[in-house]
């Protein structure tokens, strides 16, 4: 099924039968991707005092699970500025559109003292003069370990503050990364890149979102795509999400 999408004065075509899912699924297991020092997610059958267990394999007529997890720590999630604000802001009401022209870029993180970082210079080189509503950053090395990595106490790569500011000034409203956070794991709560991207010291960009813990497989080439940013309708600052890319048809 071919769809045509108009952005400004240009029309694009995408094949809706060929989605590229860049989310990491949530599993009730210790092998689930994890960050921020919390226990693994749980998916457990509802039980009662009579010994009933809501699981077909245990004799029930249906499967009926309770699920316990943290959206920031357990898989692909999308967050709004409510992550940082005293006043409640919900991702469910902040994100009002779900299709965006996106650029996928691959970045080899740079060494900065004891850290690995993504710099403004790298983003400038990768994006050039392209104007995109969404940017998807894949870091290398890009192994399948990202699907079940426990990032706690590993000091993973992060964005420099001026890199996040550059994206904001370039008009990027939706930033997706394959890292547990835009910011350094242990930064005394400064969250410089988050603050810079959402412009919390100026006119706050309530419509802007950050999506973390994605996984872009190696067969996906850098370039222009359409992004369908699907979220669960949680009234919370963050929610599990399923970002899906569609290649732009050029012929």
* 84 in any annotated domain: yes
- Domain interval for residue 24: 2-36+71-247
pLDDT at 251: 63
Helix (H) or strand (E) holding 163, with range, is helix 161-169
* 48 in any annotated domain: no
Q: How far is C-alpha 182 from the chain's CA centre?
A: 10
* 52 in any annotated domain: no
Split into its structural domains, the chain has a count of 1
pLDDT range class, residue 10, cuts 50, 70, 90: confident
* 237 in any annotated domain: yes
How large a percentage of the chain has pLDDT more than 70?
100
Give the number of other CB atoms < 10 A from CB of residue 36.
13
Contact 195, 210 (CB under 8 A): no
Chain segment 72-82, per-residue pLDDT in tens: 999 999 999 99
Chain segment 87-126, per-residue pLDDT in tens: 999 999 999 999 999 999 999 999 999 999 999 999 999 9
Query: Under DSSP, is residue 125 helix (H, G, I), strand (E, B) or coil?
Result: helix
Which CATH number does the domain housing residue 166 bear?
3.50.30.50
* 63 in any annotated domain: no
* 167 in any annotated domain: yes
Q: What does the alpha-carbon distance between residue 119 and residue 199 come to, in Å, rounded to a whole number?
A: 18
Q: What is the pTM of this model?
A: 0.96
* 59 in any annotated domain: no
* 53 in any annotated domain: no
Q: What does the alpha-carbon distance between residue 202 and residue 165 come to, in Å, rounded to a whole number?
A: 12
Q: What does the alpha-carbon distance between residue 58 and residue 49 come to, in Å, rounded to a whole number?
A: 15
């Amino acid at each position: 099924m071919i769809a045509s999408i108009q952005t400004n004065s240009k029309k694009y075509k995408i094949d809706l039968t060929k989605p590229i899912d860049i989310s990491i699924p949530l599993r009730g297991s210790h092998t689930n991707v994890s960050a921020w020092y919390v226990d693994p997610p749980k998916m457990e059958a509802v039980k009662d005092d009579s010994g009933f267990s809501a699981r077909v394999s245990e004799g029930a007529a249906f499967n009926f699970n309770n699920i316990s997890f943290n959206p920031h720590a357990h898989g692909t999630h999308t967050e709004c500025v409510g992550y940082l604000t005293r006043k409640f802001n919900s991702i469910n009401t902040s994100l009002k559109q779900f299709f965006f022209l996106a650029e996928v870029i691959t970045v080899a993180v740079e060494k900065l003292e004891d850290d690995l970082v993504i710099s403004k210079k790298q983003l400038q080189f990768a994006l050039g003069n392209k104007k995109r509503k969404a940017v998807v950053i894949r870091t290398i090395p890009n192994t399948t370990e990202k699907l079940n990595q426990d990032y706690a106490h590993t000091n993973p790569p992060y964005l420099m503050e001026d890199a996040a500011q550059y994206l904001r000034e370039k008009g990027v409203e939706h930033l997706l990364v394959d890292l547990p956070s835009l910011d350094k794991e242990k930064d005394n709560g400064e969250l410089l890149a988050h603050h810079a991207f959402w412009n919390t010291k100026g006119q706050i960009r309530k419509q802007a979102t950050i999506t973390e813990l994605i996984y872009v497989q190696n067969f996906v080439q850098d370039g222009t795509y359409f992004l369908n940013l699907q979220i669960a309708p949680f009234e919370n600052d963050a929610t599990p999400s399923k970002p899906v890319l569609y290649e732009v048809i050029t012929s």
